[in-house]
Structure formats: C-alpha cells, structure tokens
Chain A
Amino acid sequence: KAGVTQTPRYLIKTRGQQVTLSCSPISGHRSVSWYQQTPGQGLQFLFEYFSETQRNKGNFPGRFSGRQFSNSRSEMNVSTLELGDSALYLCASSPTRMTAKNIQYFGAGTRLSVL
C-alpha cells in the first residue's frame, strides 16, 4: 500500500507570492491533516479535512487555507507569502476523522523556502 504522498518535495518562492501544496493520503484514508514544522516551533497543527469539510483548525492566519477533494486528496494554499512561512509542511492521513484513538501517518513533506 502506498504511503502518504506530498508534492512537490521542494519549493522556492519570493515574498508576496502564493503557493499550493498537494497531498495524496493512503488509499482508503479519508482524513487529511496539515502541519507546519520549523526548528523553533516544532510541528504545529494547521487544519484537518474529512469528507471534503474542514473539521478542525489551528491558530494560523487566514492566508493559510486548504481544501479536500472527493477522492480525499487535499491541497493547502498559502497566499501573500512571508519570510516566516519558510518551513517543512507535513501532511498526515488517518482512516477516519482524527480522534484520540486514531494514528496519523505522515508524508515526507514539502520544504518551502521563501526568499
């Protein structure tokens, strides 16, 4: 069974641009969550999508948005990029909606550098 796939693996953008990252979950998994990982802050939860609806949200500005398609694939968009958005963006999937009993399986991430 293929794991969680994230594309692209690396991205370089300049301030003010926007970016779209993609995540394909493990086959059969319907929940997709997004995290931002930086050296100072560690992994921080962005949002979770389940059945094409945002179910949970972290404390990030509205420049960060996402969506989920009917095949459970998800995209994350960041508009008006800032230098501080440079990070590793990780996607994780689980079979059902994220709860305390579910294990999330992570992709290898997209490394975004904002110049």
Chain B
Amino acid sequence: EDKVVQSPLSLVVHEGDTVTLNCSYEVTNFRSLLWYKQEKKAPTFLFMLTSSGIEKKSGRLSSILDKKELFSILNITATQTGDSAVYLCAVCSDTDKLIFGTGTRLQVFP
C-alpha cells in the first residue's frame, strides 16, 4: 500500500532557528512530490519536486528530493513566527492521486 511518512510530528523552535522537516515515501511508480503549508484551513502550495538532487528555493524555504533513498526534506532558515503551521508532504503516483502524510506541526516562538 502506498505510504507517506513525515517526521517529526511536532517541532517547537525559537525565531531565528533553522529547521529541517522530513518526508519519506513508499509508492508504486512515483511521479512527483509536493509540499504544502497549512496555517488555519486551506493548504497553500510551496513546492513540487520531480527530479532528484535539484533544490527548489523560495526565500527562506528550500526543498530537495532523493528518489534513490525515497525521501525529501524541507528546510526553513531564520524561522519567523509566521512560519508556524502544519507542513504537509504529498506524493503523486501513476494513479494520479495525491497521497498525503499526516504533517509536521511547527511552532515558532519569539
């Protein structure tokens, strides 16, 4: 059965810290991996990754995929209180369905 596992489940840091969120997956015929940020209700899109080793970057956030070891990481540098959210990882296989992990809850304190 296809599976996406995120770790840690929860993380508490202070402003200015750097965090690394992990996402590992087991899916048949991997096609893409997506990261979303969910603050209150609507998940908002962060990155889509399809190729190994190519870093995607947006401001203080970056992400990379390792298709050999079947995982991705999401890095956030110089965290701010506005980064507090649940970060969701999702994988798309050849069934064209998104399979989500349960998320990592990040809390950033001033």
Residues of chain A at the chain B interface (Cβ within 8 Å): 3-4, 33, 35, 40-45, 48, 55-56, 58, 88, 90, 97-101, 103-109
Contacts and interface: CB of A to CB of B under 8 A. Distances in A.
Contact of B42 (A44, A101, A107): A107
Interface in B35-66: 36, 40-45, 48, 50
A43 B100 contact: yes
Contacts of B92: 99-100
B102 A108 contact: no
Main secondary structure of the interface of B (DSSP, over half): strand
B106 interface: no
A4 B98 contact: no
B96 interface: yes
Nearest to B97: A45
Interface size bucket, B side? 20 to 34
A89 to B, nearest CB: 11
A98 B98 contact: yes
A88 B48 contact: no
Nearest to A107: B42
A43 B31 contact: no
A43 B96 contact: no
B108 interface: no
Interface in B8-30: none
B92 to A, nearest CB: 4
7 contacts: A33-B98, A40-B102, A88-B41, A101-B32, A101-B50, A104-B98, A109-B42
A90 B96 contact: no
A95 to B, nearest CB: 13
Interface in B63-105: 88, 90, 92-103
A43 B42 contact: no
A100 B96 contact: yes
A109 B41 CA distance: 6
A103 B45 CA distance: 8
A106 B42 contact: yes
A33 B98 CA distance: 10
